[in-house]
Structure 1
Amino acid sequence: MRTLRHELLDRTIIWNEHQLQQLLDEYVEHYNNRRPHRGLHQRAPNDTADVTPIGTDQPIQRHTNCAGLINEYRTAA
């Protein structure tokens, strides 16, 4: 709950219930499937794939989540 509040709710003005539900759904999906957790060796709780380090010669693209509040970085295809 503290992470949700710190990373999302403290930085967002919520206008209505629909917007809140949409942000919460997107954040929960991000938290469980892509956000690195220290206690899990920088893996997400639902991540079963091996971690592949990004090479220095690979281009990286930024992807935004939760109305632009959270950035994810992945190798460009």
Structure 2
Amino acid sequence: MNAIAERWVGSWRRAATDRVLIIGERHLQLVVDEYVGHYKGHRPHRSLGQRCPDDVGAPEPPTVNDPSRVSRRDRLGAVIHEYAQVA
């Protein structure tokens, strides 16, 4: 379990805390909550077949052939970007 915890903390540190100045405990909790939402709900994981943990049991989404139709969602004040194909 130590390796899993170290991997998550390293990911979180590189993606969030290295780019955001934390100004207090409440702000730290907000940043952690936002990153956890991104990590579980959008970020692909190699061990899960490039799916996020929340979508492991869901069927494969349909692929769109037009690569120019992409939507972008900013998280953590535009530090993290989430992209999705628009049908």
**TM-score category of the 2 structures, normalised to the smaller one:** 0.7 to 0.9
TM-score computed with the length of structure 2 as normaliser: 0.75
Q: Which aligned runs of 4 or more in structure 1 are off by greater than 4 angstroms?
A: none
Where is the helix percentage greater, Structure 1 or Structure 2? 2
Residue segments in structure 2 that go unaligned for 5+ positions in a row: 1-8
Q: What CA distance in whole angstroms lies between the structure 1 residues aligned with 2:64 and 2:86?
A: 12
1:12 matched to which residue of 2? 20
**Bigger CA radius of gyration:** 2
Residue segments in structure 1 that go unaligned for 5+ positions in a row: none
Structure 1 residue 53 displacement after superposition = 5.0
Count of matched residue pairs: 77
Amino acid at match of 2:73: H
Superposed CA RMSD: 1.8
TM-score computed with the length of structure 1 as normaliser: 0.83
Amino acid at match of 1:49: A
- Residue 29 (str. 1) matches residue 37 (str. 2): yes
1:67 matched to which residue of 2? 77
Select 1:56's aligned residue among 54, 65, 70: 65
* Identity value in percent: 39
